[in-house]
Amino acid sequence: MEKTLLSIGHGFSARALAARLVPQGWRIVGTTRSPDKADAIADTGVEPVVWPGADLGALIAQFPNVLVSAGPDSAGDPVLNAVEDAVIRAAPDLRWVGYLSTTGVYGDHDGNWVDEDTPLTPSTKRGRARVTAEARWQAIPDLPLHIFRLAGIYGPGRGPFAKVRAGTARRIIKPGQVFSRIHVEDIAQALELSLQRPDPGAVYNLCDDDPAPPQDVIAHAAELLGLPVPPAIPFDQVDMTPMARSFYAESKKVRNDRIKQALGWAPQFPTYRAGLAALLAQDS
């Protein structure tokens, strides 16, 4: 396997993957929209490219492995809007394309379980945009595509501890509300396993084994810090942004059996308790 990867939209999950691959001798090129972020990317051993600006089609043609983290915007999928399908199909050596999607494509299931065969019935604008983007990628003939539907991502710098310490965390109570989550290191492990064992056409859910109400996570974070548990606030009494409110529009538990069976993936942080404990240990 040629150890080269193009990472389009080199964000939080892609950086975690790069941290695993670069020490193994991989050459990774990561795109960023911000020239100001290029130096920070370079400091991790990844070659930064500012895009839009670069010739994305020419870049794709140089790499056998391509990870797409850039999500759709109001105009649709930015990669496919910039590069014709024929250009992607013409890339001479493509062996693996990974597309990072979201479990938001399943919509609301009243706290019940979903898996990769569950019909896609998103109820939010962002979820509908993801369904459309997935379909556009899947429509490209003979593309070695792998779709990863990610649950709520947390990890270093992205967890509840800062808000709990600052006294701004809220335990919002919406009866029956439950979310699935995924530690960023478990995403990186799954992507690495898939790179090692490509299975074009595969769709995988990535989440931990312990879907839970959001207020339970906040309470546990406070207990780990030895701080008071924030008071409970009924959902209908909370003032929040439309983006934050949209997260509460859907309630479901996500199954991850398929990737475990196909790739032998086993999450290092199978519960939010394990993940939070690890984050706290890193902070101290």
The answer to whether position 68 is within a domain reads: yes
pLDDT value at position 92? 80
- Cα gap 58→126, rounded to integer Å: 29
pLDDT value at position 284? 56
- Cα gap 13→161, rounded to integer Å: 20
pLDDT value at position 108? 95
Query: Amino acid letter at 207?
Result: C
The answer to whether position 50 is within a domain reads: yes
The answer to whether position 244 is within a domain reads: no
Beta bridge partners of 10: none
Residues in the chain, pLDDT under 70? 284
The answer to whether position 139 is within a domain reads: yes
pLDDT per position as a tens digit, 237-280:
988 888 778 888 899 999 999 999 999 999 999 999 999 999 99
pLDDT value at position 66? 98
The answer to whether position 222 is within a domain reads: no
pLDDT per position as a tens digit, 9-29:
999 999 999 999 999 999 999
The residue behind tokens 């290092």 is: 268
Other beta carbons less than 10 A from residue 142's beta carbon? 8
The answer to whether position 240 is within a domain reads: no
Total number of domains constituting the chain = 1
- Tell me which residue range forms the domain holding 131: 4-155+183-208+255-270
The answer to whether position 89 is within a domain reads: yes
Q: How far is CA 123 from the centre of its chain?
A: 19
- Cα gap 266→256, rounded to integer Å: 10
pLDDT value at position 260? 98
- Assigned token pair, 108: 């609301």
By CB neighbour count within 10 A (0-12 exposed, 13-18 middle, 19+ buried), where does 121 fall? Answer: middle
* 242 sits in which H/E element: helix 242-247
Q: How far is CA 180 from the centre of its chain?
A: 12
pLDDT value at position 273? 97
Look up the pTM and report it. Answer: 0.96
- Cα gap 31→6, rounded to integer Å: 8
The answer to whether position 241 is within a domain reads: no
CATH number at residue 93: 3.40.50.720
